[in-house]
């Protein structure tokens, strides 16, 4: 084999594509967002860096504590095909937002993989077309190998939502799922990620919602994470709505504080030994309620404290054949490589569109930088600090009806005349016009008075959603410097700032 042919075949097998499209425009937008975050000049136009496309609100499971699928009433409300995002609407949103956006998240309300392979492929196609990467948060019950083939090349992150690390607990908390089947899906996926690790980087994590029924599985979740090759576990406390989920009151972590502290200690000690990062609420410590008195109402599963010590180890309980897992993951990798070889080059029209749009927004960046250069330099000279929220100015979560949210904790916004739920969720000032992404573009909606008034109320401390929100953070100047620099468009030269549009 001649040298050229050798290199050609070597690269033909690589999964990583050439530089994805629209990367420069994304950096321009990141610089604009960074300037707006620092200066709080809401006249600076920005586009979302993260876009959530709520592809479906349906879910394959019926977890008892789930606020949207746990009871027959709420399940009926959310389990509605008309709320699945229409492909034409998704393509409109993608065309407007994704050239600027770095990340696309699929549904955060239902199960994002509750969709056909063809439907998923349409989302993946838009991500590739506009150079955005995808984050998926899934219960993994529907994570089939044919879906992995589409997802893996565009995935930035995958979050496995697992509310138990052993069959008795998992099957009680995740009604409708089977522990062994779900973990097998994840194991094949993580093995495929390992096989592709020279070509792509996909971050994975386990998201573990802790309640009275599964708190004793916390140390075992660390064991499971190690078995799956996942290096990060994020732990949240379950939210039990005490008015509407009376039968589950006993599962609220309010009644399991000292048990949490004991299990947390065991879990963190194991995690340290395995090099696994666990992000979890702090211990209750001396303030822990003792003795714990759960109110009347059954837990989903009641287990002794010694539960963890009495289980067979994870590998034995699951009984997977490693060769079979490896063979199935290898098939996924082969299929990805075949698809990559069959990909077509970008059209000349697409390339022209990218260049024109990038130039248009570079001019916006030049103006914003010129306007604020002195003020920003002064901010850094004085080493000031300021309240900030990661979501603001950079996040857009869209539903099929055109309603949207600007953060994870704030109100749903949209067309008051079209959405019956809207009026209950937000009181809109009389001078703020209704906005719906069904009629407006993402650019217009994101710069609308509805959106800027929400952001302004954060700045002025009058936004009730923000008052007790953990996303509100006091940031030192170093944080703002990092966000400016990470765009790779703005450089610090001593106390001076310089716009480096030409990339020099």
Q: Taking CB under 6 A as the rule, does residue 46 contact ligand SF4?
A: no
Beta bridge partners of 405: 397
In the complex, what is the shortest distance from the CB of residue 58 to ligand SF4, in angstroms, rounded to a whole number?
Answer: 9
Q: Taking CB under 6 A as the rule, does residue 192 contact ligand SF4?
A: no
Ramachandran area for residue 229 (φ above 0: left; ψ -120 to 50: alpha; else beta): left
Cβ closer to ligand SF4: 94 or 396?
396
Q: Which residues within the stretch 161-180 sit at the binding site for ligand SF4 (CB under 6 A)?
A: 161
φ, ψ dihedrals at 78, nearest 5°: -90, -25
Which one of residues 123, 260, 379, 458 is an interface residue with ligand SF4 (CB under 6 A)?
A: 458
In the shown chain, the binding pattern of residues 111 to 150 toward ligand SF4, with x for contact by CB under 6 A and - for none, equals: x---------------------------x-----------
Selection from 343, 379, 410, 395 nearest residue 481 by Cα:
379
Q: Taking CB under 6 A as the rule, does residue 83 contact ligand SF4?
A: no
Q: Which residues within the stretch 404-433 sit at the binding site for ligand SF4 (CB under 6 A)?
A: 407-410
Segment contacting ligand SF4 (CB under 6 A): 6-14, 57-65, 289-297, 311-319?
57-65
Q: Taking CB under 6 A as the rule, does residue 59 contact ligand SF4?
A: yes
Q: Report whether 234 contacts 207 (CB < 8 A).
A: yes
Segment contacting ligand SF4 (CB under 6 A): 55-63, 146-154, 373-381, 491-499?
55-63
Q: Taking CB under 6 A as the rule, does residue 110 contact ligand SF4?
A: yes
In whole angstroms, give the CA distance from residue 418 to residue 400. 12
Q: Taking CB under 6 A as the rule, does residue 61 contact ligand SF4?
A: yes
Distances (CA, A) of 383 to 36, 369, 473, 482, 495: 18, 20, 16, 13, 11
Q: How many residues bind ligand SF4 (CB under 6 A)?
A: 25
Segment contacting ligand SF4 (CB under 6 A): 115-123, 146-154, 343-351, 461-469?
461-469
Ramachandran area for residue 47 (φ above 0: left; ψ -120 to 50: alpha; else beta): beta
In the complex, what is the shortest distance from the CB of residue 317 to ligand SF4, in angstroms, rounded to a whole number?
Answer: 22
Supply the DSSP string of 126-163, one letter for each residue.
HHHHTT-EEEEEE-STT--HHHHHHHGGGEEEEEEE-S
Q: Taking CB under 6 A as the rule, does residue 74 contact ligand SF4?
A: no
Cβ closer to ligand SF4: 392 or 490?
392
Cβ closer to ligand SF4: 229 or 464?
464
In whole angstroms, give the CA distance from residue 339 to residue 281. 43
Q: Taking CB under 6 A as the rule, does residue 79 contact ligand SF4?
A: no
Distances (CA, A) of 501 to 23, 31, 362, 393: 13, 10, 8, 22
Supply the DSSP string of 425-491, one letter for each residue.
H----TTSPP--TTTS-HHHHHTSHHHHHHHHHHHTT--TTTTT-TTEEEEEHHHHHHHHHHTTSEE
Q: Taking CB under 6 A as the rule, does residue 50 contact ligand SF4?
A: no
In whole angstroms, give the CA distance from residue 201 to residue 333. 14
Which one of residues 136, 389, 413, 489 is an interface residue with ligand SF4 (CB under 6 A)?
A: 389
Q: Taking CB under 6 A as the rule, does residue 329 contact ligand SF4?
A: no
Cβ closer to ligand SF4: 23 or 409?
409
Which one of residues 122, 268, 469, 499 is an interface residue with ligand SF4 (CB under 6 A)?
A: 469
Q: What angle do CA 439, 443, 447 make, to 5 degrees?
A: 100
Cβ closer to ligand SF4: 227 or 458?
458
Segment contacting ligand SF4 (CB under 6 A): 2-10, 147-155, 184-192, 467-475?
467-475
In the complex, what is the shortest distance from the CB of residue 289 to ligand SF4, in angstroms, rounded to a whole number?
Answer: 26
Q: In what order do the strands lie in the sheet with 232-237?
A: 277-279, 232-237, 203-210, 155-161, 133-138, 103-106, 50-53, 395-398, 404-405
Beta bridge partners of 103: 50, 133
Which one of residues 63, 183, 188, 396 is an interface residue with ligand SF4 (CB under 6 A)?
A: 63
In whole angstroms, give the CA distance from residue 411 to residue 426. 6
Selection from 441, 394, 501, 496 nearest residue 46 by Cα:
394
Work out whether the CA dihedral 411, 417, 419, 425 comes out positive or negative.
Answer: positive
Q: Taking CB under 6 A as the rule, does residue 53 contact ligand SF4?
A: no
Q: Which residues within the stretch 344-383 sit at the binding site for ligand SF4 (CB under 6 A)?
A: none
Cβ closer to ligand SF4: 100 or 405?
405
In the complex, what is the shortest distance from the CB of residue 371 to ligand SF4, in angstroms, rounded to a whole number?
Answer: 25
Q: Taking CB under 6 A as the rule, does residue 472 contact ligand SF4?
A: yes
Would you call 363 exposed, middle or buried from its count of C-beta atoms within 10 A (0-12, 13-18, 19+)? exposed
Cβ closer to ligand SF4: 255 or 395?
395
In whole angstroms, give the CA distance from residue 434 to residue 448. 9
Distances (CA, A) of 72 to 63, 67, 90: 11, 11, 29
Cβ closer to ligand SF4: 126 or 400?
400
Cβ closer to ligand SF4: 153 or 411?
411
**Residues in touch with ligand SF4 (CB under 6 A):** 59, 61-63, 66, 68-69, 110-111, 139, 161, 389, 391-392, 407-410, 458, 463, 465-466, 469, 471-472
């Amino acid at each position: 084999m001649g040298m050229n042919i050798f290199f050609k075949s070597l690269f033909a097998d690589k999964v990583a594509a050439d530089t994805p499209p629209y990367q420069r425009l994304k950096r321009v937008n990141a610089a604009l967002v960074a300037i707006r975050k620092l200066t709080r000049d809401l006249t600076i136009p920005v586009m979302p860096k993260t876009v959530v496309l709520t592809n479906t609100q349906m879910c394959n499971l019926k977890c008892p504590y789930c606020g949207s699928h746990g009871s027959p009433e709420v399940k009926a409300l959310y389990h509605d095909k008309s709320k699945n995002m229409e492909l034409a609407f998704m393509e409109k949103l993608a065309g407007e937002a994704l050239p600027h956006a770095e990340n696309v998240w699929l549904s955060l309300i239902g199960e994002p993989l509750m969709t056909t392979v063809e439907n998923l492929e349409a989302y993946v196609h838009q991500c590739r077309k506009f150079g955005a990467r995808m984050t998926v948060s899934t219960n993994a019950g529907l994570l089939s190998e044919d879906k992995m083939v589409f997802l893996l090349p565009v995935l930035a992150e995958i979050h496995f939502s697992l509310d138990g690390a052993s069959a008795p607990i998992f099957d009680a908390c995740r009604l409708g799922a089977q522990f062994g089947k779900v973990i097998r899906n994840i194991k094949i996926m993580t093995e495929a990620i390992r096989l592709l690790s020279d070509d792509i980087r996909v971050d994975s994590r386990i998201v573990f919602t802790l309640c009275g029924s599964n708190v004793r599985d916390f140390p075992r979740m660390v064991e499971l994470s190690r078995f799956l090759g996942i290096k990060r576990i994020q732990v949240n406390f379950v939210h039990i709505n005490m008015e509407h989920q009376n039968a589950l009151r006993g599962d609220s972590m309010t009644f399991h504080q000292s048990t949490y502290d004991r299990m947390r200690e065991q879990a963190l000690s194991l995690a340290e030994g395995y090099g696994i990062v666990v992000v979890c609420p702090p211990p209750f410590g001396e303030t822990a309620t003792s003795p714990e008195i759960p109110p009347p109402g059954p837990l989903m599963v009641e287990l002794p404290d010694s539960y963890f010590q009495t289980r067979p180890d994870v590998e034995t309980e699951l009984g997977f054949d490693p060769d079979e897992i490896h063979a199935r993951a290898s098939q996924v990798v082969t299929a990805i490589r075949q698809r990559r070889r069959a990909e077509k080059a970008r059209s000349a029209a697409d390339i022209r569109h990218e260049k024109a749009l990038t130039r248009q927004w570079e001019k916006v960046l030049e103006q914003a930088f010129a306007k604020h250069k002195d003020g920003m330099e002064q901010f850094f000279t004085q080493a000031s600090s300021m309240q900030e929220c990661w979501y603001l100015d950079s996040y857009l979560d869209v539903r099929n009806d055109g309603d949207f949210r600007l953060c994870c904790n704030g109100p749903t916004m949209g067309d008051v005349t079209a959405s019956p739920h809207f009026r209950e969720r937000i009181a809109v000032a009389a001078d703020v016009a209704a906005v719906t992404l069904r009629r407006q573009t993402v650019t217009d909606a994101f710069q609308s008075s509805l959106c800027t008034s929400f952001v302004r109320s954060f700045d002025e401390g009058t936004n009730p959603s923000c008052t007790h929100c953990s996303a509100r953070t006091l940031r030192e100047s170093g944080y703002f410097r990092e966000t400016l620099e990470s765009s790779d468009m703005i450089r610090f030269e001593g106390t001076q700032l310089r716009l480096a549009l030409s990339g020099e």
